[in-house]
Each structure stands twice: as structure tokens, then as C-alpha cells.
Structure 1
Amino acid sequence: MALSRIWSGFIIVAIVVACIKCFFFGQSDIFNWMVIGKSDDPANPLKLDGIIQTCSIAVKLCIELVGTLALFMGFMAIAEKAGGIRLLSRIISPFFSKLFPEVPKGHPSMGHMIMNFSANLLGLDNAATPFGIKAMESLQELNPNKDVASNSQIMFLCLHAAGLCLIPVSVIAIRSTQNAQDPTDIFIPCMIVTFVGTMAAMLIVSFKQKINLLQPAILTWVLGISAVIAAIVWYVSRLNAASVTSFSGLLSGGLILLIFLLIVLGALYKKIDIFDSFVEGAKGGFETAIKIIPYLVGILVAVCMLRTSGTFDVIMNGIKHAFIFLGADIRFVDALPTALIRPLSGGAARGMMVSTMIANGPDSFASRLSGVFQGASDTTFYVVAVYFGAVGIRNTRYAIGSMLLADLVGVITAISMAYLFWPGLK
């Protein structure tokens, strides 16, 4: 119900703003470009894709996702038959059984969730999605009301959306292509922001679900993860830019290959039919990709209408003038478009980050902060559409509100980190 209201609100607001621009500011062609515009059309004044083009992009995105989903769900099926997921579930059970009290100890969903969080941790977006969908499907088996999100599904999705990430690989790569002096200088701020955002998501949902976070098992794991992150921050802070890039590639790519190797070796040890198991799981990946198309089309079209109508420009101008009126430092305002659009569209936020770097220079305060915003959390509405859509959840309860509140904590933390790390930059 919450998603329906938000989606309807996006469309209504976008059309109202477009009407005001058309009838009061003489932009009579705005409706046409909102519907049929293409970003690469020289005649398009908006330089953004319209509704029709966005529908095509959404379908292409899902089709491109088929391969990744098939690959990782195929390997997941092998791991399940070989008992690897059960083993992983038993290892993580002391912590997850407290955080997810409705999930039985040793349930396969625990293994799926930890695989998803691990992929997120290394900035492996393509790997995180199939693991996350598999986790949602496992949790859906325990859900007594199939149309309504369970407590466990909400906790998992909020922690996933907070996007705890050790290595913001894509952001570093983009900053490198824009010739930033040190593309990796956003590494530590991103890590701190995602950690704070994840802790905020855990606190918010735990408060709502009345989960006591002061239990020894939870505190031990949280402190242990904090120690690991602190150690990585210390190690990375001593490396130069080239070494950080090499380290991130080795850690992220190497882990995926290690997982594949362990799954195959475990399957050989258990003497299961490896290839048939892979094909069986891969079929599920194809079916899932097709199933999420309507949800993804709906979300991306609503976001497209907000962008092409100029709603974001109105919001940004309002924020900028408000801070100027208050006499506050407004260096962070130029980076805010990335933060505002990040919950709605990862691709659009990436475009905003690049635009900020082109307009202000890759080493400016706004460009670095924009990079932190981009690497600091997942795309909230995309996650809701894809993950809940994959299992047919229609009532998301308080999931979206919790994710957006955690996003807000992340934005505030990111701005604070920018002023702490780069106080003298313009």
C-alpha cells in the first residue's frame, strides 16, 4: 500500500509540475518530450529519456539480468544440494537467530542472506541481486501471509538497502575515468557512511520489531564486524591509489572465483550431479528476471516522469535558496542531486555524479561528496520493486519508510564526512 501511494504521488507531482511549466512558463513541448524523448536526440531539450524509451530500458535491464541471475542461481542450487548453504546457515545462526527471531535456526535463508551481504560488502552489485532474490524466496516460504511483507523480509531488505560496502568499485572506476587526482579518496568516507547507515537501519527496524540489540550474540558480531572494518580502513589508508585499486579488484573478483571453486569442490565431494543442478537453478534465474519486469517498468517510469518534468530541479533550487537564506555553507548543495535521486534510480544517480564532476571538476568538494553519496547506499525503490516483486509482496508495511529514514541518516553522515575529510576544498 505504501509503495502504491508513493508511486501515485510521483506521477501526480510530475504531471502537475509539467502542467505549470507548460501553461505558465510557455514550455509547450514538455509533454511530448516527457513521453517520447530520447537522451541522445539532439533536438531533445531535456536530454533525458522519456516514458516510452524508459519502458524499453527497463525490459533491456531485466533481459541483461537474466544471464547474471541464471549464473549465480545455478551455482546457488549446486551449493544447496551439496549442503554448503546449510553449513553457512549454522555458522551465522547464533547472530541471525537473534536478529531474525522468526527464522528457524539453520534455515537456508540465513545462508542466502549472508551471501547477499558478502556480495554487497565487496561492491558486487550483479552478484548481490540473485543472492538477495534467493534470500527473499527462502523467507517467503516462512511467510504466513504471502501478500504482506514479513518482519524477517523487512529486516533483510532494510539491511541490504543500507548497502554496507567495503569497496565502492564502480565509484572508484568512474572517478578514475574522469581523471581525478586520487580516485580512491572516497574509499574511507564511503565505508564509514555505509556502516553508519547499516547500523541505523538495524536500530530502526529492531525498534519497530521490538528486538533487543543488547544481546551478547548481536553485540559480539557487531563489534567483530566493526573491528574488521577498522582494520581494513587502517590498511587501506596506508596504500597509494594504484595499490587500493589493485587490492579492491583482487578482493572482489577473487572472492567470487573462490566461492565458485568451493561450491564445485563441495559438490564433487558429495557426489551430486553438478551440471544438472546448475541448469535447474539457472532456469529459476530466467523465470525471476521475467517476473520482475512489470515492477521495474512501473518504478523506472515514475522516476523518469519526475526527472523529465523538472521536479528535481524545483526541489534543488528550493533547497539551495533555503540554505542561502539561512546563511549556511552551500558547498554540499551541488552534490545533493545524486543523494536525492539515488533511492530512485542507480543509473540516474550515476549520471548525476558524472555531471557534478564535469561541472565542478573531479576533485572538487561537490564531486567527492557526490561520489560518497553514490557509493553509500543501494537504490531503495529499485530494491523494493525487484525483491518484493520477485516474491509477489504487495503490502510492504513500514519497509520503505525505514529504508528512507536510514538513507537520511546516511546522507547526513556523508555530508559530515565530507566536511571532516575535505574542509578546505571549494
Structure 2
Amino acid sequence: MLNRIWVAFILLGFAAAVVQTLQGDLDIFSRVLTGLFDTARTSFEISLGLVGVMSLWLGIMKIGERGGLIQLFGRAMAPFFRRVFPDIPPGHPASGSIVMNFSANMLGLDNAATPLGLKAMRELQEINPHKDTASNPMIMFLVLNTAGITLIPTSVIAIRQSIALKQGLAGFNAADIFLPTLLGTFVSFCAGLVAVALWQRINLFSRPVVAFFAGFAAQMGGLYAWLNGMPPERMAQMIGLLGSGLIVAIIALFVAVAAWRRIDVYESFVDGAKEGFGVAVQIIPYLIAMLVAISVFRTTGCMDYLIGGIRAAVLALGLNADFVPALPVGLMKTLSGSGARGLMVDVMTTYGVDSFQGKLAAIIQGSTETTFYVLAVYFGSVNITKTRYALACGLIADAVGLVGAILIGYAFYH
């Protein structure tokens, strides 16, 4: 699918440039070529900034892993997951892998989450009576995986910081989207959980599930009471303080606990940072590929036609259309994470990383997931060909999450 989208961006852009040339615009191809070179350079510069931040964060996460805090977090979540996976036998190793996969996703450890998720799928396949058909636990696992809560959107924060440096925004707080993104992922998670639970007739009114939702709702209610009535500038400042303060507190906690347990904290950080370097470098070709295609699409005016068409439809419904430039990020995210990342960067560089559109694109990127990709990879790893209602529930979670992210963006930043 991403291949088709990439080819379409290039060929549609070329066709539009040919038409504009025939209409007398003899400089269009020069602008397209200049845009290609400028975008490739910009992509690499953004990626260089991403290397440092990703290395930093994955180094800190390695400290938390070796200090045992990530495992402790997984054990704390185990009672909740036992209730939403009633078909998994007690004590089966799949339960542990599922908990660890969700823990890694919540902490932004994408590189660790995928191997754990594939391990969980193999273990779920062992108890699957129909080897070519997705079982109920598999579907619940994948839908919650695609709609999982993200406590710390690591890569989004890293990209925002890198772009802010390029745009000359000194002292920019890239973590100020922490709370809106958390709320957006929670909305998506709830939608996915309820959709699958209704289909599988799982009772969500058990004590651990109610306690999970009640605890989150109480925290959000407290934050709302704290922020309610503040001027928009003050609210943005407090949200940024909360996000950055929590992240720094987690770093300090990881380091303190690892040191108390006599873990070599420095070596742990270096080992994790090496992984971060590899992850960031891996992103570079995908980011360049997507951004140069978007450059052709935008320079020739095709992106303006697309955004203009969506804006006209939104205005016809009597709605505010300021969110429209960020909408393609959410539409692309269901298909491709790298494609959505490229569109997010395009929005931030076009409108500004600190603009409403730039912030909303970051929230959408952090609140939605690559549903088609996750289902293809995870089901493909265990040769599942009959996915039943997994895609439908995943798309419900994505759609609700996208709408929720837009509404949350308006509530916080508009």
C-alpha cells in the first residue's frame, strides 16, 4: 500500500507539473527539482537531531529494564490483562509476553515492543485450536496493540525537538504534547477495548478493569480541575511543565533504583544508546523517501488541491477547518508509520512546529497506530489467513482515536 501511495505522489505530481508547463509555467520543473534537493537535505538534518534524542531515551530505558522497574510495571498491569484475555489459561507464558509488550509500548520502546509482540503471537498460536484462523485472544491483543496507551511519545518528542532547533526556537519544550497525546491514546484504547469486548461478550465491569479506568479518570479529572480556568498561554505552560517534569522524574527514578540495586548504570545507558543510534539511523531512508515524494506532491500544487477539497467539505458542514492540514497524518497512519511520520514533519516544517497544525499533527501521530501494518506483520508471523473481525475493530479504534485527537487538540491549543 505504501508503495502505491509513494508512486502516486510522484506520478500525480509529475502529471500536474506537465499540465502547468503547458499552461505557460516554465519554471515548475525547476521548483520541483529544487524542492527535492532541499527536502533531502532537510530530512537528513532532522534525522541527525533524532539520533541524539533516541539514543538518550533508549539508554535511559535500558537502565529501567536492568533495574527491574519496567518488569515491575508489567506485573502491576497483569491483573487488568487477565480479565480482558479470559481464554488464556492461567499461568500460560503468553500472558507475560502480552504484559511486557504493552509495557514497552506505553513507555515508547518500539524496538523492544515488536519482538515481544511477535513472541506473544507465537505463544497464543500454541493454544489456538484453528491454526489458520485468528483466535479471540489474538484479536484482542492486536486491537489493543494498535490502540495502546502511550505514556511517553518518544519519537514524536524527538522529531519536534529536532525541527524546533532547525527553526531556531530556543528553549522550545517538545514535551508539551505529552498530556494531549496521553488522552488521545486513552480514547483510542477504550474504543478498541469496548469494540472487541462487545464482540467477544467480555464483561468489563470486573474490579481490575473498573479500577484501571477509575484511576485514569480520577487523574484526568484532577488535571482538568487544576488546569480549568487558566488562560491558554498559562495552560500550555503548565502542560509543558507537567510533561517535561514527569519525564525527568522517570529518568531520575530509573537511575536511582538501578544504582540502589548496584547495576552498572553508565554501561547500561551506553548499551541502550547504541540501540537508539541504530533505530534512528534506520529511519533516515524512510523519512527521506517519504518527504521527497511529499515535496513533489506539494510543490506541484496537488497537496493544496487535496487539503482544499477536504477543507471545503468541512466548511460545508459548518465546522472549523483549522485541523484539516494535520488530517492526512491520521489517514496515512493506519497504512504506514513512516509515511505518517513524513507527513507530520511536512506539516511542522510548513506551518511551524509550535503552530496549532504542527501540535495537532504531533498529537495525531502519537495517538494513532499503523493498523494494517501491525495486523499484516503479527498475523503473518504465525500464518493466520482468516483474521475475522480484527481489522474492523482496529479501524474503529483508529477512527475514534483520530476524532478524539482532533477534539483534544482544539481543547488544549485552539
Same fold (TM over 0.5): yes
Aligned match of 2:99: 110
Q: How much does 1:189 deviate?
A: 6.0
SS of residue in 2 equivalent to 1:107? helix
Does the 8 Å contact 1:197/1:407 carry over to 2? yes
Tell me whether 1:213 sits opposite 2:204 in the alignment: yes
Q: Is the contact made by 1:196 and 1:410 (CA closer than 8 Å) also made in structure 2?
A: yes
Partner of 2:6: 11
Read off the aligned partner of 1:378 and give its amino acid letter.
G
Which consecutive residues of structure 1, in runs of 5 or more, have no partner in the other structure?
A: 1-5, 38-43, 120-126
The answer (yes or no) to whether the contact 2:147–2:189 under 8 Å persists in 1 is yes
Q: In the TM superposition, what is the alpha-carbon distance from 1:254 to its structure 2 partner?
A: 0.9
**Counterpart in the other structure of 1:226:** 217
In the alignment, does 2:116 pair up with 1:129? no
Q: Distance in 1 between matches of 2:6 and 2:159?
A: 30
How far is 1:316 from its partner? Answer: 0.7
The residue number in structure 2 matching 1:40 is: none
Specify whether residues 75 and 135 from structure 1 end up closer, same or farther in structure 2 by C-alpha distance, changes over 3 A only.
farther
- Cα separation, 1, equivalents of 2:47 and 2:380: 18
Question: In the alignment, what sits opposite 1:285?
Answer: 275
How many angstroms apart in 2 are the aligned matches of 1:283 and 1:369?
32
Matching of residues 255-334 of structure 1 within 5 Å: 255-266=250-261, 268=262, 274=264, 278=268, 282=272, 285=275, 289=279, 293=282, 297-298=285-286, 301-302=289-290, 304-310=292-298, 311-324=302-315, 326=316, 328-329=318-319, 331-332=320-321, 334=322
Q: CA deviation at 1:375?
A: 2.2
1:237 match: 228
- What amino acid is the match of 1:113? F
Partner in structure 1 of residue 323 of structure 2: 335
TM-score relative to the length of structure 1? 0.64
Deviations 1:283-330 (A, max 9, x none): 98379739x93x874576246424522343231121123345x3624x
1:6-405 correspondence to structure 2 within 5 Å: 6-26=1-21, 44-45=34-35, 49-50=39-40, 67-68=55-56, 71-72=59-60, 74-75=62-63, 77-79=65-67, 84-100=69-85, 102=88, 104=93, 107=96, 109-111=98-100, 113-117=102-106, 119=107, 128-130=109-111, 132-133=113-114, 135-136=116-117, 139=120, 142=123, 144=125, 151=139, 154-160=142-148, 163=150, 192-206=183-197, 211-237=202-228, 240-241=234-235, 242-266=237-261, 268=262, 274=264, 278=268, 282=272, 285=275, 289=279, 293=282, 297-298=285-286, 301-302=289-290, 304-310=292-298, 311-324=302-315, 326=316, 328-329=318-319, 331-332=320-321, 334-341=322-329, 343=333, 344-346=339-341, 348-353=343-348, 355-356=350-351, 367-368=355-356, 371-378=359-366, 405=396
What's the offset of the Cα at 1:8? 2.8
> Shift of residue 388 of structure 1?
8.7
Instruction: Determine which of 399, 407, 411 is the counterpart of 1:408.
Output: 399
Maintained 8 Å contact 2:367/2:402: no
Aligned 8 A contact 2:39 2:292 in 1: yes
Query: What is the percent sequence identity of the aligned residues?
Result: 17
Report the 3-state secondary structure (helix = DSSP H, G, I; strand = E; otherwise coil) of the residue aligned with 1:49: helix
Contact 1:169 1:248 in 2 (8 A): no
Which residue identity lines up with residue 154 of structure 1 in the other structure? L
TM-score with structure 2 setting the length: 0.65
Residue identity opposite 1:328 in structure 2: G
Cα RMSD (Å) of the superposition? 5.4
Shift of 1:250: 2.1
**How far 1:341 moved relative to its partner?**
2.4
Tell me whether 380-389 or 13-22 shows the greater mean CA deviation: 380-389
Distance 1:104-1:186 versus aligned 2 partners, 3 A rule: closer
With over 3 angstroms needed to count, the CA separation of the structure-2 counterparts of 1:418 and 1:8, relative to structure 1, is closer
Aligned residue pairs total 378
SS in 1 for 2:366: coil
Moved more, 58-67 or 314-323: 58-67
Q: Deviations over 1:45-68 (max 9, x none)?
A: 578625x985x6798588657734
Secondary structure of the corresponding residue to residue 213 of structure 1:
coil
- The CA deviation at 1:373 is 4.5
Partner-residue secondary structure (3-state), 1:328: coil
Task: Decide whether aligned partners of structure 1 residues 205 and 170 sit closer, same or farther in structure 2, where only a CA change above 3 A counts.
Answer: farther
2-structure distance, mates of 1:336, 1:28:
31
- Alpha-carbon distance change, 170 to 216 in structure 1, aligned in 2, over 3 angstroms: same
User: Structure 1 74/185 Cα, relative in aligned 2: closer, same or farther at 3 Å?
Assistant: closer
| d(CA) in 1 for partners of 2:42, 2:357 | 30
1:213 CA displacement: 3.3
Name the counterpart of 2:336: none
Q: Distance in 2 between matches of 1:288 and 1:186?
A: 26
Q: 1:257, CA displacement in angstroms?
A: 1.5
How big is the shift at 1:368?
3.6
For residues 208 and 202 of structure 2, the distance between their equivalents in structure 1, rounded to whole angstroms, comes to 13
Cα 1:112/1:299, change in 2 over 3 Å = same
Distance 1:58 1:143, change over 3 A: farther
